[in-house]
Amino acid sequence: MFRNNPVLMQLKNQLYNNKPQVEGIVKSTSKGFGFLRVNSKTTYFIPPKNMKQVINGDRIIGSIEKINNREIVFPKKLIEPFLKKFIGSIHKYKNSIYIQSRYPYIQNIMFHKYSTTIKRSWKNGDWVTAELKQHGLRDKNNCFSIKITGFISEKKNPLSPWHVILSKYNLEKKSPKVDFLNVFPKHISDNNRIDLTNLDFITIDNNHTQDIDDATYIEETNSDHLILTVAIADPTEYISVNTEIDNIAKKRVFTNYLPGLNISMLPKEFSENICSLKPFAKRPVLACKIIIDGDGTIITKQTKFFLAWIKSQSKLSYDDVSDWLEKSGTWKPFNKRIEKQIFLLNKIYIIRNNWRKKHAILFQNYPEYTFHLSKKWEILDISVDKKRIAHRMIEESMISANICAADFLDKQLGFGLYHAHSGFNYFNIKNVVKFLKKYNILYTSEELMTISGFCRLKRSLDILSNEYVNYRIYKFQSFGEICTFPKPHFSLGLSSYATWTSPIRKYSDMINHRLIKSVIKGCKNISPPDHTVISHIVKRKRKTRMAVRKIEEWLYINFFHSINYNEKNYYAYIIDVSRRGMSARLLKNGAFIFIPVTYIHNINHEIICKPESGIIYIKNKIHYKISDNILVRLLSINYITKKITATLVK
C-alpha cells in the first residue's frame, strides 16, 4: 500500500535532495573500490559496487552519506566522461564478445554492449578503435555501451604494438599509395635546368637508406675559396599544390622513422625511386652554389639558387667514409675523383666548424640509441651510437645550405618557413643571471637577450664544462618555434634559419622549395605559408615524438624481460628530480628509469628533493643533482604502465 504512495515518494526525494553533494574526479584502484578526488586535500571513498557505474578520470557529482562513521560518496550525475575515443582489444568468451580498454587504469572494465558497421569475424586479441556511446551513469541499468569504429591489427601480427601506438596518436600505419598512371608526369621539361650531370656529385647516407635527398659537389678556386654545390631532390617538379599526393604529404608532414619501421611521407615510389638521388640516375634538383672563404665565412652575396639536372657518381655510407678518413677498415673510394670530393667535404667541415665555434654555436654530440630487431620485429639488442666524422661533414654542409636559404627567402620575399629560437624567456632572464652569478659567470639580462651575448654564454659554459650548469641553463630556455618571417635562432647562434634540404621527408621543406622556385621562375604575387599549416606541423611533430617514445618504452620493456635485468648493475645519469624521487637514463642503452625516494635514502625526514633546482639533499647536504652519474640496479618493470623502477647501488 505504501509502494506508490505520492506522499512517501515526495519525502524520499526531499531526503535525497538534502544530502550534501560534491563534484570531483574519479580515481580507481586495482582492488575494485575507488575514490572521488575533490581537491589535493579532500577525497571520498566509493564502494566497489558503485565504481561499476563510473570510469577512472570521470568528472562526476556524488552524494555524501555517512556509514559506520565514514563519509562515502555515491555517484549520481556525470559532468564529463574521461573515456570518449579509445583503443581496446577483443575478448571472446563462449558466444559473447567483450572489448577491454587499453588505458592502464580502466583495464578492469569489459564492455559487452557494442555496435559497429565493420564487417569482420572478430578474433580473440584483435585491436580496435572505439568510442563511448552510453555512460553507465546515464543508463537506467548502469550499463556502458560503445561503438567499434575501426580495426587496427590482429594479435598475432608482430607489428601490432607499433600499429596500436600509432593509432593512439592518430598517425598512419603504412606508407601512402597512389595510382601513378594518373599522377606521374610523362615528361619534365629541360627548360631552365642547368645540366650538371658531368660533375662528380656524391651522396653519403646510411647503408640502408633509399630515400636519398641530398648530394654535394665541391671545387677549389685559386683564391683559397671553396665552392660547395648542394643539390636537393626536387619532388615539387612532380607534385603540384593541392593534388592528391600533395594533400597526403601535407597531412603526414614527416617521414616517420620508428625503431624497425619507416613510414614515408610520400609514396615510396616517389621517395625511394623517382625522386631519390640514386647513383648514375639523372635527376632534377634544386641546387644552391655556396662560396666559402678560407676562414669559413659564407659569402652570401655570391650565393646562387638554381634548377639543375645531376647524376650522382657514388652512393657512399657514413661508416665507410668515416673508417677511411680515420684510417681504419678496408673500404676505399672507387676512384681519385670520389677521393677528392671526400677530402674537400672534410675540409669544408673543418673550416665551417671552426667558424661556428667563433661566431655561432655548435651542436652537442649527444649519443643516439639504435634498436636492433629481428625479421620478426623481436628486440635483439640496443647499441649506443655517436655521430662520426662523415655524419658531421654532411650535417655541416646542410646547415650552410639552410643558412643560405634563410638569407635568400628573407631578401627575396621577406617570408618563408623559418625555424626560430628566442633564447631565454623574458620572465626567466633575471633567474638566469642570478643562477650564473653563483658560478662567477657574469652577464646582464640585456646581454643574454641578444644572439651575440647568448653565444658568448654558451662558449663560457663549454669552457666551464659543468654539466649541472648546462642542464639548469637548458631548463631556463624557451622552446623552438616555426614562423613565417625571419627570426633569430639563438641555439644555433644564427640571425635566421630555414630548412629546405629534406623535401621528400619533410613537408615544411617542400613549402620552402616552392617558394625558392617561385622566385627563380620570376612568379608574381607569391603568397606566404598559411598559419594553419604551421599549427598542423607543430601538432604532428609532437604526436610523432610521443609515438616514438611509447614504442621505445615498449621495446625497452621487452628487452629487459628477455634478460636477467635485476642481476646486473648499470651506470646512469640523473635527468630530473621530483618530490617522489629522481628520473635517470641508463648510459648503456638509453632506457629511462625512476628511483623512488625510499630507494635513495630510507629515513624520510632526512631527505629533501628540490625539483626547482634539480638537487637532492640528505641531512642538509647535497648528495645528488641533475647530470650526476650514478650506479643503479633495476628492481621491477610495470608491464601496464611501461615504467622501470630502480634502486641506487652504494
Is 509 an annotated catalytic residue?
no
Amino acid at 444: T
Looking at the structure, tell me whether residues 463 and 393 fall in a common domain.
Answer: no
Looking at the structure, tell me whether residues 222 and 361 fall in a common domain.
Answer: yes
Query: Long-range contacts: 247-251, Cβ < 8 Å, 24+?
Result: 248/176, 248/178, 249/507, 249/510, 250/507, 250/533, 250/536
Q: What is the pLDDT of residue 427?
A: 85
What CATH number is associated with residue 151? 2.40.50.640
Is 407 an annotated catalytic residue?
no
Looking at the structure, tell me whether residues 133 and 206 fall in a common domain.
Answer: no
Is 205 an annotated catalytic residue?
yes
Half-sphere exposure of 112 (CA within 13 A, CB side): 8
Looking at the structure, tell me whether residues 106 and 143 fall in a common domain.
Answer: yes
Q: What is the pLDDT of residue 184?
A: 63
Nearest to 161 by CA among 430, 515, 553, 529: 553
Nearest to 199 by CA among 338, 302, 349: 338
Is 224 an annotated catalytic residue?
no
Q: What is the pLDDT of residue 548?
A: 95
Looking at the structure, tell me whether residues 327 and 236 fall in a common domain.
Answer: yes
Residue 584 burial (10 A CB sphere; 0-12, 13-18, 19+): buried
Range of the domain at 460: 429-478
Q: Distances from the Cα of 296 to the Cαs of 459, 499, 618, in angstroms?
A: 18, 20, 50
Looking at the structure, tell me whether residues 269 and 396 fall in a common domain.
Answer: yes
Helix (H) or strand (E) holding 418: strand 418-420
C-alpha cell at 407: 638569407
**Which candidate in 44, 318, 349, 497 is catalytic?**
318
| Cα–Cα distance measured from residue 211 to residue 273, given in angstroms and rounded to the nearest whole number | 8
What CATH number is associated with residue 625? 2.40.50.140
Cell 629533501 locates to 608
Task: Please give the average pLDDT of every successive group of 10 residues along the chain, which has 650 residues.
Answer: 56 59 90 90 91 91 90 93 91 84 73 89 92 88 89 94 95 89 61 92 94 96 92 94 93 94 94 95 97 95 96 96 94 95 97 93 85 93 92 96 98 97 90 94 95 94 91 92 95 96 97 97 93 94 96 95 87 96 96 96 93 95 96 92 92
Q: What is the pLDDT of residue 7?
A: 58
Residue 522, in any domain of the structure: no
**Which candidate in 58, 126, 200, 213 is catalytic?**
213
**Which candidate in 126, 200, 214, 234 is catalytic?**
214
Is 213 an annotated catalytic residue?
yes
| Cα–Cα distance measured from residue 14 to residue 638, given in angstroms and rounded to the nearest whole number | 48
Three-state DSSP at 513 gives: helix
C-alpha cell at 387: 655521430
**Which candidate in 356, 505, 514, 540 is catalytic?**
505
Of 456, 478, 500, the residue that ends a domain is: 478
Count of domains forming the chain? 5
At residue 580, φ and ψ (nearest 5 deg) are: -90, -15
Looking at the structure, tell me whether residues 293 and 394 fall in a common domain.
Answer: yes
Looking at the structure, tell me whether residues 382 and 451 fall in a common domain.
Answer: no
Report the predicted TM-score, pTM, of the whole model to 2 decimal places. Answer: 0.89
CB within 8 A of 24, min separation 6: which ones? 36, 37, 38, 39, 42, 43, 44, 59, 60, 62
Residue 532, in any domain of the structure: no
Question: In DSSP terms, which residues pair with 647 in a beta bridge?
Answer: 633
599: DSSP letter:
G
Residue 593 burial (10 A CB sphere; 0-12, 13-18, 19+): buried
Looking at the structure, tell me whether residues 288 and 402 fall in a common domain.
Answer: yes
